[in-house]
Amino acid sequence: MKTLAMPTLTIGNLNLKKPIIQGGMGVGISLSGLASAVADEGGVGVIAAAGIGMLEPDFRGDVAAANERALRREIRAARQKTDGIIGVNIMIALSDYKTLLRSALDEGADMIFMGAGLPLDIPNVIDPGQIRNGSARIIPIVSSARAAGIILRSWSRKQCFPAALVVEGPMAGGHLGFKREQLGDPDFSLQRLLPAVLEVTRTYEREFRVSIPVIAAGGIYTGGDIKEFLAMGAGGVQMATRFVTTEECDADIRFKESYIAAERDDMVIIDSPVGLPGRAVKNGFLRDVSEGRKKPFTCTWKCLRTCNFRKVSYCIAGALTNAKLGDLEGGFVFGGANAFKAKAITSVRDVFESLMAEYTQYAGAAV
């Protein structure tokens, strides 16, 4: 059976063979291993900058230096492994996001995805000429049409435009840009958010004669899901959870196995110390925290600007580092609403082949 080709996606002057972006997964889940494997298949592989220096020997000393060094090293390692497109995900909430952004651009990252906050000051943080001439392809991640409008209005005053926008709905894994009560409300579903964001980007595309593809994210798991969102006008999709259960994913095997062991009801919403809800796989650590048991820690570096480290009952960076290393008693695993669907660990190539087959099947166009 021949598979139906997915449309390609152009971001700035880069042509993606497949309109699939691997979502950045912080604290060591998507590093050069996963990112290069996805890039090799024609998608965009994304290295996550959050907590990237946590495993460096001097992390407790000079944290900013450890983060920067590890990020530069991972970008170079990915480049050595693939000729494909490599991006970096940098959360605006990180205390050192400006240094990480400049370092990623300096290392030649093809695109930078910026979430967990409104990246309004980016045209001041880097030379706006780099955005205008397309050498810095910056892609904000938003969870509402309002946020998309605020970014576009602010950047357009400087004649700067995002290379694309990611719209992330409430089914995503990790931190979510919604209030708890919005998560199950159909008005906030990705199916509603995507057309609203497209309306905003199309206005700017017409007025300023620019191209701002919109990439849909959050709960997209199958080739059928990809077909659905492309048909609604998305230029591409961002998928994270589906890539966790691959051999190439940079997390410990126990992290990946927790997806395979999970049932639908095990996917829970937590109140993260960062001040946002998050979606994770239920476990003993999270039960302890929800029952009020504190997990003592000392904060040597306020990694997130929004973390109230004196009041929170555990250190999220520490918990996520433990999980990355396979210590699930000392931490927990973030995952999208569909994480429980994983049945086995496969290769990134297998994931792409399944996505193509599912896409073809959904289109009902097998030839």
Ligand X SMILES: Cc1cc2nc3c(=O)[nH]c(=O)nc-3n(C[C@H](O)[C@H](O)[C@H](O)COP(=O)(O)O)c2cc1C
Which residues are near ligand X by CB under 6 A?
23-26, 29, 48, 50, 89, 91, 115-116, 141, 168, 171-174, 217-220, 238-241, 334-336, 338
Instruction: Report which of 252, 342, 238 is spatially closest to residue 29, judged by C-alpha positions.
Output: 252
Q: What are the DSSP calls for 119-174, one per residue? A: -TTHHHHS-HHHHHTTSS-EEEEESSHHHHHHHHHHHHTTT---S-EEEE-TT-SE
Q: Is 164:213 a contact under the CB 8 Å cutoff?
A: yes
C-alpha to C-alpha distances, 121 to 31, 92, 159, 211, 245, nearest whole angstrom:
26, 10, 13, 21, 36
Decide whether 253 or 365 has the Cβ nearer to ligand X: 253
Work out how close the CB of 367 gets to ligand X at its nearest, in angstroms, rounded to a whole number: 29
Decide whether 36 or 258 has the Cβ nearer to ligand X: 258
Decide whether 156 or 346 has the Cβ nearer to ligand X: 346
Work out how close the CB of 157 gets to ligand X at its nearest, in angstroms, rounded to a whole number: 25
Instruction: Report which of 249, 277, 309 is spatially closest to residue 45, judged by C-alpha positions.
Output: 249
Work out how close the CB of 207 gets to ligand X at its nearest, in angstroms, rounded to a whole number: 28
Decide whether 117 or 128 has the Cβ nearer to ligand X: 117
Decide whether 25 or 86 has the Cβ nearer to ligand X: 25
Residues 212 and 14: their CA atoms lie apart, in Å, by 13
Helix (H) or strand (E) holding 114: strand 111-115
Work out how close the CB of 338 gets to ligand X at its nearest, in angstroms, rounded to a whole number: 6
Instruction: Report which of 58, 134, 72, 70 is spatially closest to residue 106, judged by C-alpha positions.
Output: 72
Work out how close the CB of 199 gets to ligand X at its nearest, in angstroms, rounded to a whole number: 22
Work out how close the CB of 328 gets to ligand X at its nearest, in angstroms, rounded to a whole number: 13
Q: Map residue 214 onto helix, strand or coil.
A: strand
Q: Is 144:16 a contact under the CB 8 Å cutoff?
A: no
Residues 99 and 76: their CA atoms lie apart, in Å, by 17
187, burial (CB in 10 Å: exposed 0-12, middle 13-18, buried 19+): exposed
Q: Which residues lie closer than 8 Å to 177 by C-beta, 6 or more apart?
A: 115, 116, 141, 142, 143, 144, 147, 168, 276
Instruction: Report which of 326, 359, 110 is spatially closest to residue 236, judged by C-alpha positions.
Output: 359
Decide whether 156 or 251 has the Cβ nearer to ligand X: 251
Work out how close the CB of 51 gets to ligand X at its nearest, in angstroms, rounded to a whole number: 8
Decide whether 83 or 265 has the Cβ nearer to ligand X: 265
Work out how close the CB of 206 gets to ligand X at its nearest, in angstroms, rounded to a whole number: 28
Decide whether 333 or 356 has the Cβ nearer to ligand X: 333
Q: Is 202:214 a contact under the CB 8 Å cutoff?
A: no
Helix (H) or strand (E) holding 288: helix 284-290
Decide whether 80 or 354 has the Cβ nearer to ligand X: 354
